[in-house]
Structure 1
Amino acid sequence: MKTRSGKGNRVGLAVLGLVLLAVGGLAIARALGSFGDAAAREPVVDAGARSFAATTPWFWPVVAAVGIVIGLIGLAWLLALLRVDRPRRLRLESGTTGVTEVDAHPASEALAEQVSTYPEVRRAHAVLRGPSDDPHLDIGVSAEEPADLGALVTRLHDEAVPDLRTTLGLRRLPAMVRLNLTGGRRTRPVH
């Protein structure tokens, strides 16, 4: 869903950008005389449209209302792009007797602290994303170079993620691991 939304945003912005570029290019070309000197000297809006705008009392309020609606749509779009799909609470169980939920942030922080204690790991960051009843895990790990990445990934796969999944009582917890290798402290021998 997120991929389709991102693709739609890119396509929408590209089309809007191309339309605005074409309109701006035509306006500049007209002003520079590409369509003749007479067109360059004439106003962009003809006399009939200027007369209509001047004599119709509802014209400018409608233009203002349309501008406000377009602005609100743009603001809503921007806020939708800034919204992060992090669940505040995880739904662990729901039934006829009630619903069991837990805060998502402390659970992911506990996992990050656990991973930070692994050898060669400088720091770790974990975030639960997606819907509250079917989350997925995003783990960022900074490890010192030369780290045994195979052992680190195996430990994440065999220990950290299953521990969190078991703690939360989830049947499945898809995880994405992002590894960042950082230069370790280099020591120089003193003679």
Structure 2
Amino acid sequence: MSSRADAVNRVVLTLLGLLLLAAGGLGLALSLGAFGAWRATYPVLPQRVSTFPDGRPWFWWAVAGVLLLIAVLALLWLFSQLRTHRTSRWDRTTNAREGFTTLHASALTDAVEDEAVSITGVTGVSAHVRDRHGQHVFLRVELADSADIPEVRARLESDVVAHLREGVGDPGLPVTIELRPSGARTPRRTLA
């Protein structure tokens, strides 16, 4: 998920949480008599409001429309959470007059995974290419408990990343390596 989506999620969920907290706090304060004892026994909805839908069939259609709109917005939000910037093809064309060069991302990631998993102490590797503001390779490496982390990191940087950059012809290709020793997450390190 992108950092922009993360920021939007934090803002929207924070505002929604604060709104619900304020409504709950107000309801609790009213029921405890904070605004006077008569408010504590007062009905939540006045008689006029509770009888408003009677004789107005359009009211329930309007409620259904609003709820449908909320459901559609929630579905759009869910789809935005599932969207990634992963790419399946990588355009490596440098000069369109001489032809086009397209690299399948799965071929690249398979080669990177095969090379990385051959390093002693590495138990699993997952690689993918993202295309957001330019190509970026993400490499998630799972380590055995007995792995020599500095040695694995050095081999990843000197062998795997160097071969990757040489293979695509881009010495400045950004690569993010995430090491996961013993199933625990560690901070990501981006190689510029």
The answer to whether TM tops 0.5 is yes
Structure-2 separation of matches of 1:77 and 1:25: 28
Shift of 1:38: 3.3
- TM-score normalised by the chain length of structure 1: 0.76
Distance 2:161 2:119 in 1: 14
Do the aligned residues in 1 keep the contact of 2:121 with 2:143 (CA within 8 Å)? yes
The 1:116/1:70 distance shift into structure 2, 3 A limit, reads: same
What's the CA shift string for 1:98-122, capped at 9, x where partnerless? Answer: 7543332332122111111123323
| 1:91–1:101 contact (8 Å) kept in structure 2 | yes
Q: RMSD of the alignment, in Å?
A: 3.0
Is 1:130 paired with 2:134?
no
Secondary structure of 1:54's aligned partner:
coil
Q: Distance in 2 between matches of 1:58 and 1:96?
A: 64
**Paired positions, count:** 182
2:90–2:103 contact (8 Å) kept in structure 1: yes
Q: Secondary structure at the match of 1:122?
A: strand
Where 1:71 maps in the other structure, the secondary structure is: helix
Q: Aligned residue for 1:181? A: 181
1: CA distance between counterparts of 2:114 and 2:85? 22
Counterparts in 2 of 1:20-31, with a 5 A limit? 20-31=20-31
Once structures 1 and 2 are overlaid, which stretch shifts more, 25-34 or 76-85? 25-34
Structure 2 unaligned regions, length at least 5: 184-192
Q: Gaps (5+ residues) in structure 1?
A: 184-191
Look up the equivalent residue of 2:7 and give its one-letter code: K
For 2:4 and 2:157, locate their aligned partners in 1 and report how far apart those are by CA, in whole Å: 29
CA contact (8 A) 2:2 2:84 kept: no
